[in-house]
Each structure stands twice: as C-alpha cells, then as structure tokens.
Chains A and B, each alone.
Chain A
Amino acid sequence: MAGQSDPHLSIFSAPEVEFLAEDEVIEIVPNIRMESLHMICGDFGPFFPQIAAKVPLWLAVALKRRGKCAIRVPEWMSVERLTQALEAERESPREFQTLPFHYVEISRLLFDHAHDDIPDEYMVRSLIEDIRDVRFHKVETGLESISGRTHAVKLKNLSAMEVNIVRPFIIRTLQAFYKHDSPQMIQQPEATGNRRSQVADRGPRRDLRPR
C-alpha cells in the first residue's frame, strides 16, 4: 500500500487498448457460407461467398486466419487518404486530424493478419508511422508550452493508443504544476475577479489559465 508510484498512471496496457479496438466494425468478403451468428456482442451474418458483410475486427481476423475471408481495408487506410491526412497533419500544428479513435491498433492488426489484402502495404505502413510521429511531436510541443497551473488540456481527435502513450507524462506534469502553482505555495496577484476564459477550439492543447 506504500504509495510511491500511483498505479493509476498507466491504467491500460497496450494489449488492453488493442482488445477494445477489436470490436470496431470492418467489412469482409467471405468465401464460405455460414449461418447468422447470434453473439453476446451482436448479431452478424448470414454469410455468403463473395457477398460483403460487416463484422467486428476480431471476428474478421479469426476468419481471415482460417482462410475463410478477405478483409476490405477501410477507406481511410488508402494511400491517397493517408497522404492527405499526413499533409493536413503537418499543416496544422495545433490540431489533430480526424482519424479513427483506434487507427493505430486497427492498422497494426491488419498489417499482422491481412497484409495481403492491403494494396501498397509498405507505403501505407510508412504513412501511418509518419502520421503518428507528426501527431506525437505535436503533443510534445503542446506540452512544452505549459508553464503554470492548468485545469484542462484539450486533445480533440487524439487516438486511444496515443492517449495511452502520453498519459503517464501528461498526468504527472499537470499534477506537478497544479501542486507548485497553488495559492498555498505562491503569492498570487490580486484576485482576478470574474475573468473567465472560454475555451476556443483552436489547438491540441489549451491552457485555460486566465493569466
């Protein structure tokens, strides 16, 4: 119970985040006939050869591994869309582009289990890497500008895996600033009265501190 390290700082493991992503729906083209599946997580099928069907990713991967289907790579994973995304990501230093909340996990699962279904696999792989790098760098730059007590940091469109990577650092940093920049610790200038700061939607992080 001795509490040097707070276990809540890394609450999800990467495989747990992947587990969550496996419920995302994806399209498959089966090569078999199979009756509808009435599962706890939902109803899927019936399945007919060459007729596309929507299933959760884990189910798609299970069928694919047994050679029973091809997976239709989602549209956002095309070279064209990813190239656009990367460009947009580079052009707007304070915003994250809209990508699936689980884009990192989905793409890895598809690389691992359905690489033969991905056109231009290597290009797609490296585009996704680049996008993740640019976005990660943005988080870092955003964090560098924190300089005092911050009540809220906005990270609209940051994805699940990205959240998981930066969580320990962001939480500890915000806590340190919260503690050191407190009225108990620092002589505050005269009370600021009713100054309110509204959050505008303009960046990966927003420092809501009014002064």
Chain B
Amino acid sequence: MEEEPMSVVFQVGANGVGLLDPGSETNNVEKGAKVDLPFWLAHDLYLRQATSINVPACFNQKTRKEIQADAACVDLRMRCPYFYELGCKTVPLVGDKSIGSFLLQAFSSRYKEVLSKSHSTPTTTASKFLPRLTKEETQLFEAAQSSMASFKKWRVGGSRLEKASILGKKRKTTLPIDPPSP
C-alpha cells in the first residue's frame, strides 16, 4: 500500500535528488515542482513540511461522480488496489473529510454484493466479479468464502479431529508439561 504513487508539490527546493523528478534537467528538485512519489516518501516529506499533497485521482470529484453513479459495478482495483486504505491515510494529509464519507458510501454499496457472492457463487462466476474488487474487498470475499467452504467440507464428512499418532505414546515421566523450548 505504501508504494502507491502520490502526486506532491515541493514547497522547498531540494538539491541532489533530481532522480525523483523525471522532468528535471539538473540533479535538483525545484520549489513548486509537481512530482509523483510513493506514499511512504510523500508522507515523510509532508511531515517535514517539504511537500504538499494533492488529492489522488481516485478521490477527485470526477472519479467520485463516476463511482457514485454505479458503485457496485465499478472496477475499483484498476483505480487503486488499496482504495480504502489509501483513502484513510490520505484524509489527514489533505484535510478533506469528504473523502471519508465517500469511502464509507462506496464500501456500503459494494460489500453487500461481496457478501452474497462469497457464500453462494461458484468459482467460475466469481472470476468475473473478483477482478473489480480492491485488495480489502478481496480479503473480505475470501474470508467469507473459505469459512463457508470449510463448513461444507466438515458437513460432508471431511475433517475430524484426529489424535496425532505421537500423542498415543505413553508419557513415562510424571514431569509437569513444560512449555517446549523455543
């Protein structure tokens, strides 16, 4: 998640780090330069007041409208695989709490489908729907699906607690059961 690119504007000039700015012809980044940095670096520089952070494209007004229009079916992963996580971490950096409401709204309108699909859909149909989900949504889907699958396996007579063969052996000593050494 922390590798996600963030668009930042340098508030100070920085010498010797020209590689951060592909457009720079010197080895420096000039004050006011607009550069894409990975989140972790953008965040660190923001804390040092060296950069200001722009709202990432997946949270701008245009995208919000697109998503709100058909939240359940939008391909969020394409926009940002860590949509929610990045959103949460961006709010304090750009001071825009409307992003929070937007995340909540997006999640509310999408998780129902994740829920219904995860418990009943055969894998073949799920393969069309899964690629649209963000990492967070995928985890939710997989968690629900695997618990249902392990229940079904148990129900048809699969798993049972079995005694490990080693436990059958007689413990000759009467020592207290010490925690095993690491």
Contact = CB atoms under 8 A, between A and B. Distances in A.
The answer to whether A and B belong to the same complex is yes
Interface of A: 4-5, 9-10, 13-16, 18-19, 108, 112, 136, 140, 143-144, 147-148, 161, 164-169, 172-173, 176-177, 179-182, 184-187
B151 A148 contact: no
Contacts of B155: 108
Contact of A186 (B100, B147, B153): B100
A47 B140 CA distance: 51
Interface string B143-156: 11011101101110
Nearest to A181: B104
B91 A173 contact: no
B161 A140 contact: no
Instruction: Say what secondary structure dominates the interface of chain B.
Output: helix
B84 A180 contact: yes
Contacts of B160: 15, 18
A112 B155 CA distance: 10
Nearest to B91: A185
B161 A19 contact: yes
B154 A14 contact: yes
Interface stretch (B18-26, B54-62, B115-123): B115-123
A15 B88 CA distance: 38
Contacts of A176: 84, 107, 111, 136, 140
A144 B112 contact: yes
A185 B103 CA distance: 9
23 contacts: A5-B139, A10-B150, A14-B150, A14-B151, A15-B154, A18-B154, A19-B161, A108-B155, A140-B119, A144-B115, A164-B151, A165-B147, A167-B147, A169-B118, A177-B107, A182-B100, A185-B88, A185-B91, A185-B99, A186-B100, A186-B104, A187-B98, A187-B100
B181 interface: no
A5 B141 CA distance: 13
Contacts of B154: 14-15, 18, 108
B111 A179 contact: no
B161 A186 contact: no
B91 to A, nearest CB: 6
A20 B148 CA distance: 19
B151 A165 contact: yes
A182 B104 CA distance: 10
A14 B150 CA distance: 7
B161 A180 contact: no
A140 B144 CA distance: 12
Nearest to A170: B144
Interface in B123-169: 136, 139-140, 143-144, 146-148, 150-151, 153-155, 157, 159-161
Contacts of A14: 150-151, 153-154, 159
A4 B118 CA distance: 20
B150 A13 contact: yes
Contacts of A9: 143
